[in-house]
Amino acid sequence: MGEKANSCLERWTGRVRAAAAEKTAIRLRGGGSKDFYGQSLVGELLDTREHSGIVAYAPSELVVTARCGTPLAEMEATLAENAQSLAFEPPHFDPGATLGGCVAAGLSGPRRVQAGAVRDFVLGVKMINGQGELLNFGGQVMKNVAGYDVSRLLAGSLGTLGLIVEVSLKVMPVALAEQTLRFDLDQEKSLNLLNQWGGQPLPISASAWAANSLHVRLSGAAAAVSAATAKLGGQRVTPEESTAFWLGLREQSHPFFAGDAPLWRLAVPATSAVLALPGEQLVEWGGAQRWLRGLGTPADQSIRIAAEQSGGHATLFRADAAQKAALGVFQPLAAPLGRIHHNLKLAFDPLGVFNLGRLYPDL
């Protein structure tokens, strides 16, 4: 580790210890690309971008280790030079997005169904807990069951358990061939098809339905992609259009996401029928992720109730502060889970330093 990096960590551990002693809150932030996500932003800012850079990367190990402040774009560029990538296609939402923020937010992009989520790729972390201790969990290897899987627990914890200072991620080779297909179909027919295709050995790496148009992306060996293209039919989308489409979906610059209406994210079983909820819908992940927004979106808990009844949950993904305060951002937890969450917060951050209330008001 570089001298500069070392001194940064020393300062950070000192700062966390001081904050714990004085009972003051710290707000962890990288590029601020996901400030909109979650509940309140409380505390004195700790800018994680100071601790930046790739620490280790050997393509034949399929692992990259980098510091929390490393720009996601820089990491992806380095991986791309070796025909590798972060297979979960993390959204950036801003050019300044960092690796630490990516893992803490736990958001995955279009390839999630085929490749897995952020947490599936986290192999190890170096972190600072709420007492200012520098700790290591997991490692740089694919299989590791020594102790509890703290590294994966941190993915999606929104910085409430500690400051992630370094992460090791599994990386994957870029697919040799790719082809996007477009079909004019309504949502019900699209969901049926996607679920049927999902049970067949097809190289489907992404899907999106909106406004009676279904896009399906195939990725894999050239032979597999061309065989599947022939089998599925549909209209072939040009490579340029395809890249722009999936990027627009990942970054939510697709027209569906334009405007200020609240945006709900419903995670439901892929086989759930079309959700009879007012507002427009965009369906991803083979039916497992459904976005809802627009005029007439109910401003009560009926969306959460619908998500729960189908076996999943709903997140108020983008909304103004008043709407977030009224409805809460994340689905409330059942009592025993709530208690375990509270106890875990105390185990990692006993004096309540990090990102208070960002995930749930009492964490």
Partner 1 sequence: MSTDSAFTVPRFAVEKQRLLAQLREVLPALSLLVDEEDLRPYECDGLMAYRQLPLIVVLPENEAQAQAILKICSALKVPVIPRGAATGLSGGAMPHRDGVVLSLAKLKKIVKLDALARTAIVQPGVRNLAVSEAAAEHGLYYAPDPSSQIACTIGGNVSENSGGVHCLKYGLTVHNVLRVRGLTIEGEIVEFGNAALDAPGYDLLALMNGSEGMLALITEVTVRLTAKPELAQVVLASFDDVTKAGDAVASIIAAGIIPAGLEMMDRKAIHAVEPYVKAGYDLNAEAILLCESDGTPEEVAEEMARMTAVLRQSGASGIRVSQNEAERLMFWAGRKAAFPAVGRITPDYLCMDGTIPRKNLARMLIAIAGMEERYGLRCANVFHAGDGNLHPLIMYDANVPGQLDLATAFGGEILELSVKLGGTITGEHGVGIKKIVQMCAQFTPAELALFHALKRAFDPEGLLNPGKVIPTAARCREYRLTRSAADGADNASVNAATRY
Q: Name the residue nearer to partner 1 (CB basis): 256 or 348.
A: 348
Q: Name the residue nearer to partner 1 (CB basis): 43 or 220.
A: 220
Site track for partner 1 across 314-333, x = CB under 8 A: -x--------------xxxx
Q: Name the residue nearer to partner 1 (CB basis): 23 or 143.
A: 143
* CA 114/CA 102 separation, integer angstroms: 19
* CA 265/CA 244 separation, integer angstroms: 22
Q: Name the residue nearer to partner 1 (CB basis): 239 or 269.
A: 269
Which token pair is 24?
């003051």
Find where tokens 């296609």 sit: 89
Chain positions 45 to 104 lying near partner 1, rule: CB under 8 A, are 58-63, 83-84
The CB-of-151 to partner 1 minimum distance in angstroms stands at 9
Judged by CB under 8 A, the residue of 12, 88, 348, 354 near partner 1 is: 348
Q: Name the residue nearer to partner 1 (CB basis): 224 or 244.
A: 224
Q: How many CA atoms lie within 13 A of 68 on its CB side?
A: 32
The CB-of-148 to partner 1 minimum distance in angstroms stands at 5
Question: Hey, what amino acid is at 8?
Answer: C
Chain positions 144 to 203 lying near partner 1, rule: CB under 8 A, are 144-150, 152-153, 155-157, 161, 172-174, 176, 195-196, 198-203
- The DSSP call for residue 98 is B
* CA 152/CA 138 separation, integer angstroms: 9
Residues whose CB is less than 8 angstroms from the CB of residue 91 and which lie 6 or more positions away in sequence, other chains included: 97, 107, 109, 250, 251, 252
Angle at 282 between CA 212 and CA 154, to 5 degrees: 155
Question: Hey, what amino acid is at 262?
Answer: P
With binding defined as CB under 8 A, does residue 233 bind partner 1?
A: no
Judged by CB under 8 A, the residue of 45, 222, 273, 305 near partner 1 is: 222
Q: Count residues binding partner 1 (CB under 8 A).
A: 87
Judged by CB under 8 A, the residue of 288, 292, 306, 356 near partner 1 is: 288
CA distances in angstroms from 247 to 254, 282, 283, 314, 343, listed in the order given: 9, 15, 15, 24, 39
Judged by CB under 8 A, the residue of 101, 106, 109, 352 near partner 1 is: 106
The CB-of-225 to partner 1 minimum distance in angstroms stands at 9
The secondary structure element, H or E, covering residue 7 is: helix 3-22
* CA 275/CA 303 separation, integer angstroms: 9
Q: Name the residue nearer to partner 1 (CB basis): 31 or 118.
A: 118
Q: Name the residue nearer to partner 1 (CB basis): 147 or 240.
A: 147
User: Judged by CB under 8 A, which stretch of 34-42, 137-145, 210-218, 318-326 contacts partner 1?
Assistant: 137-145
Chain positions 264 to 283 lying near partner 1, rule: CB under 8 A, are 267-271
Judged by CB under 8 A, the residue of 52, 180, 289, 355 near partner 1 is: 289
Which token pair is 67?
């510091």
Find where tokens 């994957």 sit: 172
